[in-house]
Chain A
Amino acid sequence: DSGVTQTPKHLITATGQRVTLRCSPRSGDLSVYWYQQSLDQGLQFLIQYYNGEERAKGNILERFSAQQFPDLHSELNLSSLELGDSALYFCASSGGDISYEQYFGPGTRLTVT
């Protein structure tokens, strides 16, 4: 158990819909990272927050947005969903703002039908 929690575990929704994925980092960690992993693919970095502020952006679509709240949990919002958005979405946390060791949550499997 990494100490990072993600909800929900599974999500099935239709094209055009909007969903919110939630992540709680390990106790004491200030950074949250979001990644997308499509079937049998690598990890695509989406976005990072550090102590409530956006730190780095990767290949995140404009239809996607994220935020980190004062209690340090983070939410990833995906809107106008397309079939190609079906993937595993992982959240990871680390103590600092620079890219160092990251602890991953169990992921949310999103299926868009």
Chain B
Amino acid sequence: GQQVMQIPQYQHVQEGEDFTTYCNSSTTLSNIQWYKQRPGGHPVFLIQLVKSGEVKKQKRLTFQFGEAKKNSSLHITATQTTDVGTYFCAGPNTGGFKTIFGAGTRLFVKA
């Protein structure tokens, strides 16, 4: 079935270093969503990308959607301790109603 794969599973960085997580879908996606879940919290919607090749920025976060609409990335510049958490990508299945989440990348930031 349709799969959304995310790497790496874990990432340890020193505060101030950059961080990137990658998301790959086995099929073309109509859109891709990114969520952040803090330890002990619930997933929080960050952004949605719809267009092929789209790039969106939110302060230190840069999101990209691949030209083929099968991959995406989230890049954080100069990480801070507040960036700690798990970052999930998600996309709709072929029919559009079911949301498939990647396994997430857990980010640890050392001060």
Q: Show the binding face of A for B, using Cβ within 8 Å.
A: 2, 33, 35, 41-45, 48, 50, 55-58, 90, 92, 97-107
Contact B42 A45 (CB under 8 A): no
Contact A43 B42 (CB under 8 A): no
Contact B97 A98 (CB under 8 A): yes
Closest B-chain residue to A88, C-beta based?
B42
Residues of B within 8 A of A50 (CB): 97
Closest A-chain residue to B33, C-beta based?
A101
CA distance A50 to B41 in the complex (A): 25
Residue B43, interface by CB 8 Å: yes
Contact B44 A102 (CB under 8 A): no
Contact A42 B104 (CB under 8 A): yes
Contact B97 A55 (CB under 8 A): yes
Q: A42-B88, A56-B97 are in contact. Are A102 and B45 (CB under 8 A)?
A: yes
Residues of A within 8 A of B95 (CB): 56
Q: A2-B42, A104-B43, A107-B42 are in contact. Are A99 and B104 (CB under 8 A)?
A: no
Mark out the residues of chain B between 1 and 57 whose CB falls within 8 Å of any chain A CB in the assembled complex: 30-31, 33, 35, 41-45, 48
CA distance A50 to B97 in the complex (A): 10
Q: Show the binding face of B for A, using Cβ within 8 Å.
A: 30-31, 33, 35, 41-45, 48, 88, 90-93, 95-104
Q: A2-B42, A43-B43, A90-B42 are in contact. Are A102 and B88 (CB under 8 A)?
A: no
CB distance from B106 to the nearest CB of A (A): 8
Q: A43-B88, A99-B92 are in contact. Are A2 and B97 (CB under 8 A)?
A: no
- Pick the contact of A99: B42, B45, B88, B98 (CB < 8 A): B98
Q: Which of B44, B88, B95, B99 has most A Cβ within 10 Å?
A: B99
CA distance A43 to B41 in the complex (A): 13
Q: Nearest 9 pairs between A and B by C-beta?
A: A99-B92, A56-B97, A56-B98, A42-B103, A43-B101, A99-B99, A104-B42, A98-B96, A55-B97
- Pick the contact of B101: A42, A56, A97, A107 (CB < 8 A): A42
